[in-house]
Every structure is written in structure tokens, then in C-alpha cells.
């Protein structure tokens, strides 16, 4: 059987695609990727060939098709030989699942106001109250994980939770979301260090470089 195929969107913008891609790459899973240029030409039929949900990411492994980033990460952890998908300890695992579900279903203001764009020149933006609340909640939950489990990643080793928050690392970096006033706070310093650590992962650097090299620039995501 050939290696699993991961159908993804633009590396410049597709935060949902980054999550499973990063989990697979960090864990050296052998997979093929198919990049779809989102919102251009016949992009929809191209995705529909892989999944009736019509959204990326999609993972096709033989006769198994999995769509949605969280389902793909779960499947990869169970079936693609990933050493540490979720934390081993049951309490830590419940905690990791909670913050992934929180990300998966929430933070709409941050997602809309600060779209993921790996090529955005770094500069701060004015945050409305809802976006500021999302940023503050994310900083708090990251600091809490790093203090509780001791780092270097959110639950010690790199897990699905880090893959799920990786697009946040890009947003924090590109939109300068750590306020200077909070820099002296110990929890915030740990969260900043996590952002730097994630951005320095070879797989992240590979994704960001590929996203920056893309030529299809979509004005709606260039904020």
C-alpha cells in the first residue's frame, strides 16, 4: 500500500492544514501531500474528490478517509505509529483534549481578526475586546500547561496539543501579540519561549518557508 496522502490548503494561510501536517512531520511519518490552492479555480471539486465534506485537511490511507484536523490527528496517533499523540497520564490527556477542543470550537475572534499568514511582515494590530479576550485566554492556558507539566512543550513532549496551537505561534509572532507590559510576567515568559520553540522546529521552518514561497496571494487573508 502506498503511503498516506494528506490533502492540504495553502501553506501561507491554512491553519487547519498545518496541524496534522506538523504532527506527522515531527513524528517522521512517511506521507505524501497534495496541496490545493484554496478559493481559486476548481479548488472545490479537487477537495471533493478526496472528501464529501469539501474542506481541507483530508487524510487518505488506503480505504480509510479521515477529514477534519482533530479527527486526522486522532487517527494518526492511533494508526500511523506516532509515539506520543496524547499525553500518557489520564489527567494530562483529559486536559490536552480539553484545550484542543477549546481551540477547535472557539477563538473565532482571533481567527477572524488575525488570520494565519506566514508571510505577514511582523507588526501589532489594534485588538477589539473579543480578540483581546481570546489572546489573554490562550496566553493563560499555555502558561498553565507549561507550569504544570514543566515544558518544553505544552505537555512535556510534543503532542497533538502543540500541533493544535502551532498556528497560534505564527499569529503571536506575526501580530506581536505579547504585550510589552506582560513581558516580565513569568508565565508569559514561558509562553513566549514555547512560541519560539515551536517556530524553531525544523518542520515548522519547512512549512513557513514553503508558505512564503507560494505565489497565490489572497487579499482576504492579507490583513
Cell for 107? 477563538
Residue 132 C-beta: closest distance to ligand GSH, Å: 24
| Residue whose C-alpha is closest to residue 72's, from 21, 113, 9 | 21
| Residue 181 exposed, middle or buried by CB count within 10 Å (0-12, 13-18, 19+) | exposed
| Residue whose C-alpha is closest to residue 38's, from 55, 24, 52, 53 | 55
Candidates 52-60, 126-134, 135-143, 171-179; binding stretch for ligand GSH (CB under 6 A):
52-60
Of the candidate residues 11, 68, 96, 211, the single one contacting ligand GSH (CB under 6 A):
68
| Residue whose C-alpha is closest to residue 74's, from 146, 198, 159 | 159
Candidates 54-62, 81-89, 118-126, 189-197; binding stretch for ligand GSH (CB under 6 A):
54-62
* Long-range pairs, 185-193, Cβ under 8 A, ≥24: 187/139, 187/140, 187/143, 187/144, 187/146, 187/147, 188/139, 188/143, 190/142, 190/143, 190/146, 190/147, 190/151, 191/139, 191/142, 191/143, 191/146, 193/146, 193/151
Taking CB under 6 A as the criterion, which residues in 150-169 touch ligand GSH? none
Is position 56 an interface residue for ligand GSH (rule: CB under 6 A)? yes
Of the candidate residues 57, 85, 167, 211, the single one contacting ligand GSH (CB under 6 A):
57
x/- track of binding to ligand GSH for residues 8-27 (CB under 6 A):
-x----xxxx----------
Residue 182 C-beta: closest distance to ligand GSH, Å: 29
Is position 143 an interface residue for ligand GSH (rule: CB under 6 A)? no
Angle between helix axes 129-149 and 186-200 (nearest 10 degrees) is: 90
Taking CB under 6 A as the criterion, which residues in 79-108 touch ligand GSH? none
* Nearer residue to ligand GSH within complex by CB, 43 or 132: 43
Is position 38 an interface residue for ligand GSH (rule: CB under 6 A)? yes
Of the candidate residues 55, 111, 171, 174, the single one contacting ligand GSH (CB under 6 A):
55
Is position 31 an interface residue for ligand GSH (rule: CB under 6 A)? no
Q: How many other CB atoms are there within 10 angstroms of residue 202's CB atom?
A: 9
Residues binding ligand GSH (CB under 6 A): 9, 14-17, 38, 44, 54-57, 68-70
Amino acid at each position: 500500500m502506498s503511503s498516506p496522502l494528506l490533502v492540504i490548503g495553502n501553506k501561507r494561510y491554512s491553519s487547519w492544514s498545518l496541524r496534522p501536517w506538523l504532527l506527522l512531520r515531527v513524528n517522521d511519518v512517511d506521507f505524501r501531500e497534495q496541496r490545493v490552492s484554496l478559493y481559486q479555480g476548481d479548488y472545490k471539486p479537487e477537495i471533493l474528490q478526496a472528501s464529501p465534506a469539501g474542506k481541507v485537511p483530508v487524510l487518505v490511507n488506503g480505504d480509510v478517509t479521515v477529514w477534519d484536523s482533530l479527527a486526522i490527528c486522532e487517527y494518526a496517533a492511533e494508526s500511523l505509529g506516532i509515539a506520543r499523540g496524547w499525553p500518557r497520564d489520564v489527567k494530562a490527556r483529559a486536559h490536552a483534549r480539553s484545550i484542543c477542543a477549546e481551540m477547535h470550537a472557539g477563538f473565532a475572534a482571533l481567527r477572524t481578526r488575525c488570520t494565519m499568514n506566514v508571510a505577514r511582515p511582523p507588526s501589532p494590530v489594534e485588538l477589539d475586546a473579543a480578540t483581546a479576550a481570546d489572546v489573554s485566554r490562550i496566553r493563560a492556558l499555555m502558561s498553565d500547561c507549561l507550569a504544570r507539566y514543566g515544558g518544553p512543550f505544552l505537555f512535556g513532549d510534543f503532542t497533538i496539543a502543540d500541533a493544535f496551537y502551532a498556528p497560534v505561534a505564527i499569529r503571536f509572532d506575526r501580530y506581536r501579540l505579547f504585550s510589552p507590559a506582560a513581558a516580565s510576567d513569568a508565565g508569559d515568559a514561558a509562553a513566549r519561549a514555547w512560541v519560539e520553540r515551536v517556530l524553531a522546529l525544523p518542520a515548522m521552518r519547512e512549512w513557513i518557508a514553503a508558505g512564503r514561497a507560494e505565489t497565490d496571494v489572497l487579499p482576504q487573508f492579507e490583513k
